[in-house]
Amino acid sequence: MAITIKAKFKCSSEKVSQVPKDELKDIAFIGRSNVGKSSLVNMLTGQKGLAKVSGTPGKTKLINHFTINDSWYLVDLPGYGYARVSKTARGEFSKLITDYVLKCEKMHFLFVLVDSRLEPQKIDLRFIELLGTNGIPFGIIFTKADKLSQAQLNRNIKAYKQMLSEEWEELPPMFVSSSEKGTGREEILTFIEDALTNY
Ligand SMILES: Nc1nc2c(ncn2[C@@H]2O[C@H](COP(=O)(O)OP(=O)(O)O)[C@@H](O)[C@H]2O)c(=O)[nH]1
Ligand SMILES: [Mg+2]
C-alpha cells in the first residue's frame, strides 16, 4: 500500500540561525554531490519537482526545509565532497553542514546517502566517523540500487558493514533505495514515523 504524503517547500537557510523556530522535528538527508539526494526527496514525497534533480554536482548550497504532513520537516542538506576545503577531518565539511548536524537541536535524525555501486568512499567514512564520535543518530541509505544486480548489491552492502564493524560495535540502520523504481520508500517512511514518535 502506498503511503500518501503532503509535502510543501518551507524555506532555504544559508545559516543555522535561519532554520524554522517551531517545534517540528527535522529528518535530514546528506551525502556526496550526485549521490541521488534530490531524487530521493522527490521519490519519498511523491512530488517529482520538489527538490531539483541535476546532473551538475555541487549546486545546492543551502539547507532546504520541506514540511511533511504538517508534522515534521524533511531537510535537504548541501552535498559534501564537491569543493574540497581542507584536509582536516572537520574542515572538509562546510561550517553550514557541521553547525547544523552537530549543533542544531531541531536535527532529530540524519540519513547519510551512499552510492550502492561504489566501494566505501573515504569521505563518507570520515563523515560517519564524525557522526559516531559526536553521538548523532543516523542511518545509511544505499542509493541507485536499480543500477546493479541483487548479488552485487548484497556484496557491496556486506563490504560496507564489514568496514564499519572494524570501528563500531553497533551498526546504524541501513536502507536500500532506488528513486527510479520507488524501492525503499515504505521502509524509510515507516522508519521515520517510528523515529519521530519513539526517540
Ligand atoms: N538509475 C538511477 N539514477 C538515479 C537515482 N537517483 C538519482 N539518479 C540520477 O543521479 C543523478 C544525480 O541525482 P540527484 O538527485 O540530482 O543527486 P544529488 O546531487 O545528490 O541531489 C541524476 O542524473 C539522477 O537522475 C536512482 O535511484 N536510480
Ligand atoms: Mg541535489
Per-residue confidence (pLDDT) for residue 83, from 0 to 100? 56
Calculate the average pLDDT of the chain.
Answer: 91
Quick one: pLDDT band at residue 48, thresholds 50, 70, 90? confident
pLDDT one-digit tens code per residue, 58-98: 556 899 999 999 999 999 999 888 655 555 544 689 999 99
Ligand nearest to the CA of 145: 1
Cα 82 to middle of ligand 2, angstroms: 12
b/e sequence 28-53, b meaning 16+ C-beta within 10 Å: bbbbbbbbbbbbbbbbbbebeebbee
Nearest-CA residue for ligand 1 atom 13 is: 36
Per-residue confidence (pLDDT) for residue 89, from 0 to 100? 46
7-198 classified as CATH 3.40.190.150: no
| Ligand 1 atom, smallest distance to 59 CA | 19
Q: Is the pLDDT score of 3 beyond 90?
A: no
Percent pLDDT > 90 in the chain is: 80
DSSP string, the chain: -PPP--EEEEEEESSGGGS--SSPEEEEEEEBTTSSHHHHHHHHHT-TTSSPP-SSTT---SEEEEEETTTEEEEEPPPBSSS---SSTTTTS-HHHHIIIII-TTEEEEEEEEETTSPPPHHHHHHHHHHHHTT--EEEEEE-GGGS-HHHHHHHHHHHHHHHHHH-SSPPPEEE-BTTTTBTHHHHHHHHHHHHHH-
Ligand 1 shell residues, CB under 6 Å: 31, 33-39, 53-55, 57, 79, 143-144, 146-147, 178-180
pLDDT one-digit tens code per residue, 129-183: 999 999 999 999 999 999 999 999 999 999 999 999 999 999 999 999 999 999 9
Residues 6+ apart with CB under 8 A from 116: 142, 143, 144, 145, 147, 148, 153, 156, 157, 176
Give me the residue label for grid cell 532546504: 64
User: C-alpha cell of 40?
Assistant: 530521493
User: C-alpha cell of 2?
Assistant: 502506498
CB of 65 closer than 8 Å to CB of 16: no
Nearest-CA residue for ligand 1 atom 2 is: 144
For the chain, what are the domain ranges? 7-198
